[in-house]
Amino acid sequence: MTSNELKQMLERSPAECHKALVKEYGRYVYAIVFNKLRNCGTKEDIEECVSDVFAAIFIKYEFDEDCDRDIKGYIGTVAKRSAIDRFRSLTSRINHTVYADEDDMQELVSDFSVDERVDRSELRRVLLDKIDELGEPDSTILIQKFYYNRKSAEIAESISMSDASVRTRCSRAIAKLKVKLVEAGITR
């Protein structure tokens, strides 16, 4: 719906304009608001915020007769800002002070390390990039063998090669991959 269409509809019938706007963008606005408030607000808070978004649009939107742009971006911005404001007001009411025994805190201690997880994720990304650089069929062979634990016969059948050819290409591809990884600074 463009600004011009909205203005024409509003001139004909404000009620019909409001209904059409809510019908066309209601789910869009609800999705934006829901994503911001789902962890801190109730269903009523979400629905009230959605109503506030449409009220703000009806009150504040300035129509430009020469404008043929879609107003979805404007509606999305209003929805996001309204949801953020509502989030702030809802979370400011929550008492953030938590008193816990040391026994309770032991349950919260985890061996999860963000640094290690990021390092592993980065290593996987680099490894997959280097495997991809090997080209076909070497990259397919390595991924099927080491990521999907498929046997040479299964791989050979899927890429129309013999078992022996798959094994040979696999060993050569591993050698090439080692060189590429050393060039990238990975020596593990």
- Does position 69 have pLDDT exceeding 70, yes or no? no
Q: What gap in Å lies between CA 188 and CA 167, rounded to an integer?
A: 23
Q: What is the pTM of this model?
A: 0.47
Q: What gap in Å lies between CA 53 and CA 63, rounded to an integer?
A: 17
Q: What gap in Å lies between CA 43 and CA 49, rounded to an integer?
A: 10
120 and 87 part of one domain: no
23-52 residue pLDDT tens: 888 899 999 999 888 888 888 889 999 999
127-185 residue pLDDT tens: 888 888 888 888 888 888 887 888 888 888 888 889 898 899 989 988 888 888 888 77
84 and 146 part of one domain: no
88 and 13 part of one domain: yes
Q: What is the mean pLDDT of residues 95-112?
A: 53
- Domain carrying residue 78: 3-92
Please count the other Cβ atoms lying within 10 Å of the Cβ belonging to residue 136.
9
Q: What CATH number did the domain enclosing 134 receive?
A: 1.10.10.10
